Chain A
Amino acid sequence: MSRRPSLDELAVRVSAAHDEVVARGETFYPGPSRVHLAAFPPTQRWDDWIELDSRSWPERVERRYMLVPTTCFNCESACGLLAYVDKETLEVRKFEGNPEHPGSRGRNCAKGPATLNQITDPDRILHPLKRAGERGEGKWVQVSWDEALDDLAARIRTAITQQRHNEVMYHVGRPGEDGFTERVLATWGVDGHNSHTNVCSSGARAGYHFWTGIDRPSPDHANAKVIFLISAHLEAGHYFNPHAQRIVEARAAGAKLIVVDTRLSNTASHADHWISPHPGSEAAINLSIANYLIQNDLYDRDFVRRWWNWPEYLASEHGGIEPSFGSFEKILKELYSGFSFEFAAEESGVSAGTLEEIAKIVAQAGTRLATHSWRSAAAGNLGGWQVSRTLFLLNALLGAIATEGGTHPNAWNKFVPKPIYSPPHPGTWNELTWPLEYPLALNEMSFLLPHFLKEGRGRLEVYFTRVYNPVWTNPDGFSWIEALTDERLIGLHVALTPTWSETAFFADYVLPMGHSSERHDVHSYEQYDGQWVGFRQPVIRAARGRSGEHFTDTRETNPGEVWEENEFWIELSWRIDPDGRLGIRKYYESMEHPGEKLSVDEYYGYMFEHSVPGLPEAAAAKNLTPLEYMRRFGAFEISKKVGRVFDQEVPARELDDAATGDFGRVFTRAAPPESTNVVPMGAPEPDSEGRRPVGVEVDGKVLRGFPTPSGRLEFWSKTLADWGWREHALPGYIRSHVHPAKLAEDQMVLISTFRLPVHIHTRSANAKWLDEIAHTNPLWIHPADAVRLAVRAGDLVRVATETGFYVVKAWVTEGIRPGVVACSHHMGRWKLGDQGQGQMMASVTLDGDGKDGDWSMKRTKGVGPYNSSDPDTQRIWWTDVGVHQNLTFAVQPDPISGQHCWHQAVEVSKAAEHDQLGDISVDAGKSRQVYRRWLELTRRADLHSPNHTRRPIWMMRPLKPAKEAFSIPEQHS
């Protein structure tokens, strides 16, 4: 132990307090208390910061730390973290927030500090494992990285050389990074990207995308006068902590908060007005507010006239009418006149008076209306994409788009730096992810994969799941198990994951990848009106790097043989194309030292040097290279107050040989201005002569406009009209599959999508502090329903879906609408009886099988104390981990957005005599019937495509293939 210093000595050496810090000329980080105390040590001391050990206190025992920033890898918010690396042990002692992060501003939710649990999780996977028995049998042998890499590389190389590109697939949960892996797949020339987005946010994305050509909202909550949420952003979602900070700030400044959520979320609890409607009626509510604005001329007429694509709408749908704004306004009034408060009240069960009250508040917001819908209703209902679309209609009516306090399209508040190499778009099209039935799906039809495979639509030679757990996260998990255990369908399943999961149990290789402090990534998210990039890095590597050591392989500093994906993909790509003949290797070669392998240092060094405006200058001012700057500070803010990009005039130099097309769309032959921001957004097509769209003519000026085909806000979507959905081309109301008229008398609606503030899907189950706070998911049920069903709190209830049932405890609460039940999807982690030791804290052991598609599972063991390297596992006092309800849900894909419609029509009853907590029973045959029934709702591209393409080329798509690949091949026609 170090020498005990005197108090005076200590104060001079280590104080972060204001006067001392300022006297030393260092950075003072003020905290919420606004006193002399700092929230964080001054950056100048981040190499050697001395703190007093909390456990030894009041004895003053000094600990020396190196403070290294990284980024949280729990939810999608990507908040900054600051790792305290103990200089003596070279272990992370704790994670705090990173004060240099512009989005999270040094603050975190419960999951930030709990990152420590994840890296010290006694159950984590430390070495590459290969299955020894049958797939799913739970027998594993440790293998070397070389063995795994060589096996994988050989299979992928063979698939590529044999033109079986579509047999290579990478299925990602939340990526937590911008573009690295997508580009890896592009370099391989495969259309193999698969995401979780269609079980998550594509409903909301579709609504935004049809309006603006950009698929996410970026509400400027902090400056709003009225915040209208159809989501729970004070506790979850994109972007929980950063948005919660700004919503609470706005409320303190007098903003009104309206929250539409059937369930009392923490967010709803804070709302000035909580609206708890019948699930699925949200769009009707939005439209009744819109109608109020329209009928009472409370909308921004000039904005609507300038920016809506009403001329295109009139021309297409009202050909005989004089194409004036006056005509349009008249039609607009007629269009929505049916959406009275009384109508919305009838649909939603919310009183007309209440709806009128919130409509009046919305009307007063002017351009300071911040709205947000994410998952929630948009992910729950058939036609849920109209929820976000009708919500954004309110912004579009008030002109509250990209204004201070309004909602911005996210692409303008996001910066994706161009990397060192940009491979071309792949020339293939994968129908397993982008089938003809769903030409307008915003994302891959990921959750239908087992059905597609079983139908013989294709097979997979190599299937990567990366921090993704479809068996557990997706609906219809038993179909996933059936597909994953069939080696004819999936040749090799590789799970890239730090921890065990229900899906990893069915892998051939389990390859351990690092947690947030053990890997490299860059990312940028729209959390306010500004742009920033954040850097995730292996903190021990960075800390030792600061001390002069040099590493080229993160495995050298990670626990066990845990790796990171960046280096893994580089190495794997080299092995796929060792001699460069496939044209893959060149994307992984050093630019500085041709012929050598690209290092992550060079990759990010190049990116930060060349593609992040302002960063090289900021770094130079501190005498650092851009990479050193990011390793030291973890994030960089590129711009603030980006504002109304669409309203900016296009400079004359960009209007070379410009031509104005229909409805004022302007095209140019001038090259686009140099930009290193490769943020994804809609890509409207060139005109017939090959000019690129550059803007739109508004009142005689050429303005930037929106990345939509018309360049304007697409109130009327030509795309929807052209692709067979003319009846939904306007923001409207689609009656949900759980609309009261479609429910049988004894059916209730089950809301299954809600998150708990301390958990994050499948990632946080081994975070002991989070498990201790939340570890079960009883069924929320209103007291009136409880009385009707003779159920009391704590009783077992049986929830029967179309395909099976599960047994869960009841939570009788005034926080849910009568007739509706809710069960959080965060709980119910399990492992089969013979699947070994992993995932002990939050998993129960189930015994089950699926003979002839009849699956049933019974809980054989709950959680309890156990021996491990962490004494805390002996102190586990809870026994329940909830029930995995998703297994009992069949797939319900929305025919337009492709979003799985999570809400379920269920029968709830008191548990039967022999029912036990956690019982799950599913008839997989019925699951297939439901799949086919929903498939019939679709309008196939080969029957409805206006131009014989698989999908509108302008629409966003991850890993967008080359234009040629969009053509529907002959055999389909």
Chain B
Amino acid sequence: MCAVADLAAANRPQKWAKVLDQSRCIGCHACTTACKSENEVPLSVTRTYVKSVEVGAWPSTQRAFQVTRCNQCDDAPCVTACPTSAMFQRADGIVDFDKRICIGCKACIAACPYDAIFINPEDHSAEKCNFCTHRLEVGLEPACVVVCPVEAIFVGDMLDPSSKVAQVVNREPVTVRRPEKETNPKVFYKEAHQTTLDPIAARRPEGDNFMWSEQARGPQSVNSGHPAGWSNSSAAALLSYDVRHEAPWDWRVSLYTWTKGIAAGVYLVALLLLFTGTGDGPLFRWAAPVLGAAFLAITGALLVWDLEHPERFYLIFTRPQWRSWLVRGAVVISAYGAVLAVHLLAGVSGSQTLQKILVIPGLPLAAMTSVYTAYLFAQSKGRDLWQSPLLPPHLLVQSLLAGAAALLLVAPVVEPGAAEPIAYVVAGSALGHLLMLWGEVTLVHVTAHAHLAQWSLVAGDFKGFFWAGVILVAVAVAAPVMGVFAAPFALAGLLAHEHAYVQAAQTVPLA
């Protein structure tokens, strides 16, 4: 497909790769400005930059550089996560993007284990390094390759063993960033230092500046380097230059997990009551579906609001990329919403039988609505905290707690008889939630990143939200005693927990 390759090359498969030779890099930042120029990248965002770390103790010190950018993964999490194929992989291996169909959901940013993707403030679409494909197509090397004073950057076809890239990759000591993420990067580093490759190996400097620039600040800022006490390297290493990074998913996503939990939970709890014979009264017939539909609507509104291109929301359905859990989730939510709508219509037409038949699709759809977010989060390959096998059941337990608490609020009015069993559901699910949290905070996570996120959750930036969540939910365990008064504690506690959990996972620097 590459129109420019010589004829022989055009007829065989290609795999474009790049070598960043840190043994030559002089830290001049020419690649940064050449890229800004070639790709008209605005201030505040970068497709490529040169991170630096001071290693050692005087007079045995070095400044280690790392040209930092998209890794052109062969198994690119951003492509998998993108709901519309705006991020896509070309036949020649290059991960490219199409801004015309980007809805701005930031799933690719959340998915990227290298924090290499950003939203362009001019056009509000996701972008990153794409090897200057528009240049490759006219037979030119990428802009950074051409500008580099010391020829530290070069590209080539890995499948062509005579190419310089293949020779270096095959014959010299190269490495990639974070191979444990199973992304198979095609950007190889020659002689890069461990303290730059690992984003948390170097110490984040005190104060608010680096060697000659300010550190980023702002609610969603993520600074590279480890906070005090979180060293991931026995080498003395101090981060001396980095650019702004931002956590992609803000409070709206935290809130969405909460509203969606309620939306799924109310129906699930109503079904629990139905199956345990406690009742098929107005709670099942009206309250649960009304609450479910309402919170589902809020959920949808939050999701759309969080898009950089809300007007392109429909593309999720018109050009779905089925591996994306955003697409799968949208379908699940839509189907669940449809069930709730029919359930309510049936209620209007007085058809209780239909309502009960609807339980057959309704139950799995509500459960999937609750649980799919675990898969959506897990698709964010860089966020180790979210790669937890316990997350699906935990989300289900949270949904039950949220749903039960919401129903508990209305039960005294709608169906007073159900209040007590619901209170027990609240108590039970609150206990279950706390038990799972206990596992979360006491078990040492296997990766340093998950460990750091866990620290951020329980002892770092989000400890306030986290412990408020724990205490409030703990209070709700007394629901059988407190009755309806336990419900606000449970709901507020869950909301605090969702926020802490969603945000803490994103505090770990990836680049």
Contact = CB atoms under 8 A, between A and B. Distances in A.
Given A872-B43, A875-B44, A113 B139 contact: no
Interface-centre pick from A34, A267, A756, A792 (highest chain B CB count, 10 A): A34
B139 A36 contact: yes
Interface residues of B, number: 84
B356 interface: no
A421 B4 CA distance: 51
A94 B38 contact: yes
B58 A880 contact: no
A817 B28 contact: no
Nearest to A105: B149
B233 interface: no
A112 B43 CA distance: 17
Contacts, number: 293
Nearest to B34: A113
B391 to A, nearest CB: 35
Interface of B: 3-7, 9, 24, 26-30, 32-34, 36-40, 42-44, 49, 54, 56-59, 61-65, 96, 98, 100, 121-123, 130, 132-141, 143, 145-157, 160, 163-165, 205-214, 216, 236, 238, 240, 244
Contacts of B123: 55
A879 B5 CA distance: 47
A106 to B, nearest CB: 7
A16 B89 CA distance: 24
A655 to B, nearest CB: 46
A32 B145 contact: yes
Interface string A547-589: 0000000000000000000000000000000000000000000
Contacts of A275: 59
15 contacts: A33-B154, A33-B165, A35-B164, A52-B134, A55-B40, A96-B146, A107-B30, A110-B33, A112-B33, A266-B26, A269-B62, A757-B29, A758-B28, A777-B212, A813-B54
B213 A776 contact: yes
B149 A245 contact: yes
B6 A880 contact: no
Interface in A332-369: 350
Contacts of A871: 42, 122
A795 B137 contact: no
B146 A34 contact: no
Given A32-B145, A36-B5, A814-B54, A15 B138 contact: yes
Contacts of B4: 11, 15-17, 20, 36-37
B16 to A, nearest CB: 10
Interface stretch (A497-505, A514-522, A766-774): A766-774
Most chain A CB within 10 A, of B9, B59, B100, B238, is at B59
B140 A39 contact: yes
Nearest to A809: B209
Nearest to B217: A877
A32 B30 contact: no
Contacts of A113: 30, 33-34, 36-37, 147
A877 to B, nearest CB: 5
Given A40-B146, A793-B205, A813-B54, A33 B139 contact: no
Given A19-B7, A110-B28, A815-B54, A244 B214 contact: no
A266 B140 CA distance: 30
A114 B211 CA distance: 21
A276 interface: yes
A131 B153 CA distance: 50
A911 interface: no
A878 interface: yes
Give the interface SS of chain A, mostly helix, strand, loop or mixed: loop
A94 to B, nearest CB: 5
Contacts of A94: 37-38
Contacts of A418: none
B128 to A, nearest CB: 13
Contacts of B44: 772, 875, 877
A718 B314 CA distance: 86
B166 to A, nearest CB: 10
A837 B51 CA distance: 33
Contacts of A53: 134
A176 B57 CA distance: 40
Contact of B29 (A50, A758, A777): A758
A811 interface: yes
B59 A811 contact: no
Given A32-B153, A244-B150, A54 B7 contact: no
Interface residues of A, number: 102
A133 interface: no
A293 B132 CA distance: 52
A50 B149 CA distance: 26
Contacts of B138: 10, 14-16, 50-52
A795 B150 contact: no
Contacts of A661: none
B61 A264 contact: yes
Contacts of B206: 792-794, 812
A234 B212 contact: no
Nearest to B29: A110
B6 A18 contact: yes
A18 B138 CA distance: 11
A393 interface: no
B38 A54 contact: yes
Contacts of A428: none
Nearest to B31: A110
B63 A37 contact: no
A634 B122 CA distance: 35
B118 to A, nearest CB: 12
User: Closest 5 interchain pairs by CB?
Assistant: A794-B207, A17-B139, A32-B151, A16-B139, A33-B154
A900 to B, nearest CB: 23
Contacts of A112: 30, 33-34, 147
Contacts of A245: 149-151
A745 B293 CA distance: 76
B37 to A, nearest CB: 4
Contacts of A36: 4-6, 9, 139
Given A57-B133, A795-B207, A96 B141 contact: no
A970 interface: no
A248 B140 contact: no
Given A109-B28, A113-B30, A270-B26, A814 B61 contact: yes
A773 B136 contact: no
B56 A814 contact: yes
A96 B147 contact: yes
A812 B239 CA distance: 11
Interface in A795-818: 795, 809-818
Among A37, A109, A768, A817, residue most surrounded by chain B Cβ atoms (within 10 Å): A37
Given A17-B6, A33-B145, A235 B140 contact: no
B236 to A, nearest CB: 7
A16 to B, nearest CB: 4
Given A34-B156, A36-B4, A108-B147, 17 more contacts: A16-B4, A32-B146, A33-B154, A54-B134, A57-B133, A95-B37, A109-B30, A109-B149, A245-B151, A248-B24, A266-B65, A269-B63, A773-B49, A774-B213, A778-B212, A782-B58, A877-B43
Given A107-B148, A773-B213, A37 B155 contact: yes
Contacts of B216: 877
A274 interface: yes
A824 interface: yes
A811 B240 CA distance: 9
Interface in A216-272: 234-235, 240-241, 244-245, 248, 252, 264, 266-267, 269-270
Nearest to B137: A52
A267 B507 CA distance: 34
Given A244-B28, A778-B209, A116 B37 contact: yes
Contact of A54 (B39, B141, B157): B39
B30 A817 contact: no
Contacts of B37: 94-95, 113-114, 116, 769
Contact of B96 (A20, A58, A777): A58
